[in-house]
A and B are shown apart, each in its own frame.
Chain A
Amino acid sequence: MTPRQIIGKIGLWFAVLVIVSPAILFFLWMLSLSLKFEVDNAAYPPVFIPEHFAWKNYADVLASNRFVTYFFNSLIVTGGATALALMVGVPAGYGIARMAAHKSAIVILIARITPGLSYLIPLFLLFQWLGLLGTLVPQIIIHLVVTVPIVIWIMIGYFETTPMELEEAALIDGAGRWQVFRHVALPIAKPGIAVAFILAVIFSWNNFVFGIVLAGRETRTLPVAVYNMISFDQLSWGPLAAAALIVTLPVLLLTVFAQRQIVAGLTAGAVKGG
């Protein structure tokens, strides 16, 4: 290597370090906060790696009954909203792609631009009128606002790139539209469905604004529960940080392990709900 190349190499690594360190340092600090006793968290100058790890912060959070309830609420809301979105969104993406009905994407665009709160006002009244507040149903339905556009958008893009020849051959052989979709188009589209699934799960799991309005004491999802910890329970920093880390951990793991799908999905549609 010439000196010039060595300098270039060092410069590159320095740049990489500068770019990546805000993310690394933040999450390490989050971990550090969650593993420290109150004494260490209130110390100045701050303690980065404590002498004694406060594993009990995690034990406390997980031992509380409510946290388990909220975890299952999150699981049901995200699971329900994602499953429903895939059920209606995957066929819709297929239909729109095959009909080349590109104008219908305008609805998706409007959904993308609309602030989440503006759905909440009318739907809040509707759920109240139907007597559904106090159950998880309103949250599952309103999370569709996030998940359905993501799924439709990604599936339109995906079905547009899958080859038509096989489908046409099957049609000529006398298969019905539904059979062609079920046995020819759907198997090919599995990677696209995976992308849609992952993004729908993440953005539904992370959603906060719908929960603060629609969730009662028993129907909170995890992000709402964590927010309520800050404002009311006045907990010390350690358990709070532990709770925050537990809430976001599934998403962080998904980000690392399904990075390729996430990147593909975000750069294709750059969709985000709410």
Chain B
Amino acid sequence: MSALTQSTPAAAQSDAAPEKELRPPSYWPFVVPALIVVLAIIIFPWVFTIWMSLNEWKVGSPTTFVGFSNYLRLTGDPRFIEAVGHTLVYTVLSVVLPLVFGTFAAVVFHQKFAGRGFLRGIFIMPMMATPVAIALVWTMMFHPQLGVLNYLLSLVGIPAQLWVFHPATVIPSLVLVETWQWTPLVMLIVLGGLAAIPTEPYESAQIDGANLWQVFRFITLPLIMPFLFIAGMIRMIDAVKSFDVIFAITQGGPGSASETINLYLYSVAFVYYDLGYGSAIAVVFFLLIVLLAAVMLYARQRMLWTEIASDA
């Protein structure tokens, strides 16, 4: 702090070049180390991945430039196309269900009740817990003979299910885990939105005698729409990329019934060591996520325009 006390010579100096002292470029040294790291671990991998995707690149054999043939191969790869389908179904369900439950949870946590902070801490535990550890416990719970879920179903008279062990129920079962895990994130984002809502509309609604559902539908919902959109976007990005839980519970099975793009990418790159083809999948996968995000943005814009149009 000694520099702060020597004010006389410094003041003279800053008189000489006051503009130069406060000019932004001098902040560059703060950014350079991070820039080097980002170049090395984010930009370099991306450039290299794009380059690899244009090559036949298998571990242990020489590489040859093949242009776009890895990408052409994707269009005729039934396992990839099937994986895209699984990913889309998984993603849509894993966005919609947490949005619905998360909004409900946010409305409840917005009320005042004893122990709210502590219970909110419990509620967000599923999303912070180590995914592989909870996947392990879910696997035990899904067990058709010894699992606790079938026991719970039997209590209410529903026949035993095969859960992740049957092709028809494996994706819904995994979505159940994903929803359990990520509903809290939606809740937190929407809760932030609810905190920003003014109280006046609620007071006038009360005077008008609106019921709970009407208040939610016509006041709360429109006001939290921007937050729901953000939550939906984040949820989409994470659900598309979901790996840990699926890999730990089913490894894409039974057969390939729950193989999403990310799991197929893993197999191609690190089971078959077909790195060129794997890189092509990685690039297409990234573009698909960007495309989905663009579609969501477009839908949001359309919704805003219709709202404005109907107001006019």
Contact = CB atoms under 8 A, between A and B. Distances in A.
B22 A171 contact: yes
Interface stretch (B23-31, B70-78, B163-171, B216-224): B23-31
A177 B27 contact: yes
A212 B263 CA distance: 13
A212 B267 CA distance: 12
B3 interface: yes
A255 B146 contact: no
Contact of A16 (B13, B44, B119): B119
A270 B185 contact: yes
B126 A26 contact: yes
Contacts of B28: 95, 99
Given A115-B286, A181-B30, A223 B133 contact: yes
Interface of B (DSSP majority class): helix
Interface of A (DSSP majority class): helix
Chain A CB within 10 Å, residue with most, of B10, B22, B37, B151:
B37
B45 interface: yes
A33 interface: yes
Interface magnitude class on chain B: 35 or more
The 9 closest A-B pairs by CB, nearest first: A174-B10, A95-B30, A92-B34, A118-B282, A122-B48, A244-B133, A95-B31, A91-B30, A248-B130
Interface of A: 12-13, 15-16, 19-20, 22-24, 26-27, 29-30, 33, 41-42, 44-46, 84, 87-89, 91-92, 94-96, 98-101, 104, 107, 110-125, 141-142, 144-145, 148, 152, 168, 170-179, 181, 183, 202, 205-206, 208-209, 212-213, 222-224, 226-227, 230, 237, 240-241, 244-245, 247-248, 251-252, 254-256, 259, 262-263, 266-267, 270, 272, 274
Interface of B: 1, 3-7, 9-11, 13-14, 21-22, 24, 26-31, 33-38, 41-46, 48-49, 52, 104-105, 108-109, 111, 113, 117, 119-126, 128-134, 136-137, 139-141, 145-146, 148, 151, 180, 185, 188-189, 191-192, 230, 234, 237-238, 241, 243-244, 247-248, 262, 265-266, 269-270, 275, 278-279, 282-283, 285-286, 289-290, 293
